[in-house]
Amino acid sequence: MQTELELRGVRVCKGWLDPAAQAAMLADIRAVAAAAPLFSPETRWGKPMSVAMTSAGKYGWYSDRRGYRYERRHPSGVDWPPIPASVLAVWRALAPEAPGPDCCLVNFYRDGARMGLHQDRDEADFTWPVVSISLGDAALFRVGNVERGGKTESVWLESGDVCVIGGAARLAHHGIDRIRFGSSSLLSDGGRINLTLRVVD
């Protein structure tokens, strides 16, 4: 059943994708990863990230010692595959006023993976929202403030949930504290996939 809540300005659409839609989207994302394999980036400080990632669309998000940025090609040199239609449909439904996304970042969380509090600010225009789709194991999503520090609030995101980070919350710090490994049967070996759609240019 679909319900909706707001977490410090972030719109959280619970149960947006039903089980059949989740399975179909997972198949589409597996095809993306076959064309542009998952890789393990490092932070600008040289520390390996605990998530594996790839991308689809005009750009892919990338991180290494040179910093955080968008790149037009996968580290192997191949072009990023197109964003699947199943994913674009979610964007059109929840961000109808926005132009089409330039990037779909795919993050894969294994057991123990997390994502520290951060801002999505490598894009040219913060007018447009970021749309985030959760598939697989539940994840504890934490949202803070535009300025670093201060109070935060958290909610468990489950498979099929979608978040819209826009408006006053567009530059809010947010992250994933932990996943509840094995809480979903969508991925046979466990883990969580997060799809983040962004207008880059």
DSSP three-state, residue 109: strand
Tokens of 138: 């539940």
- Predicted confidence band of residue 183 (pLDDT cuts 50, 70, 90): very high
| Res 42: pLDDT | 81
The CB density around residue 70, as the number of other CB atoms within 10 Å, is 20
If one compares 197 and 42, the residue with the highest pLDDT of the two is 197
| Res 1: pLDDT | 74
Cα 199 from Cα 51, distance rounded (Å): 22
Name the architecture of domain 3-198. Answer: Sandwich (2.60)
pLDDT beyond 90 at 48? no
Adjacent-strand bridge partners of 79: 73
| Res 54: pLDDT | 97
pLDDT beyond 90 at 44? no
Averaged pLDDT of the chain: 95
CB-based contacts of 81-86 (< 8 A; 24+ apart in sequence): 81/31, 81/32, 81/35, 81/36, 81/56, 82/56, 82/57, 83/56, 83/57, 83/197, 84/25, 84/28, 84/29, 84/31, 84/32, 84/56, 85/28, 86/21, 86/24, 86/25, 86/28
Q: Output phi, psi for 32, to 5 deg.
A: -60, -45
pLDDT tens-place string over residues 80-138: 999 999 999 999 999 999 999 999 999 999 999 999 899 999 999 999 999 999 999 99
pTM score, two decimals?
0.95
| Res 164: pLDDT | 98
| Res 68: pLDDT | 85
Are the C-beta atoms of residues 164 and 157 closer than 8 Å to each other?
no
The full set of domain ranges for the chain reads: 3-198
| Res 2: pLDDT | 85
Residue 140's alpha-carbon distances to 42, 103, 109, 111, 143, in angstroms, are 22, 24, 12, 13, 10
pLDDT tens-place string over residues 133-147: 999 999 999 999 999
Q: Output phi, psi for 115, to 5 deg.
A: -140, 115
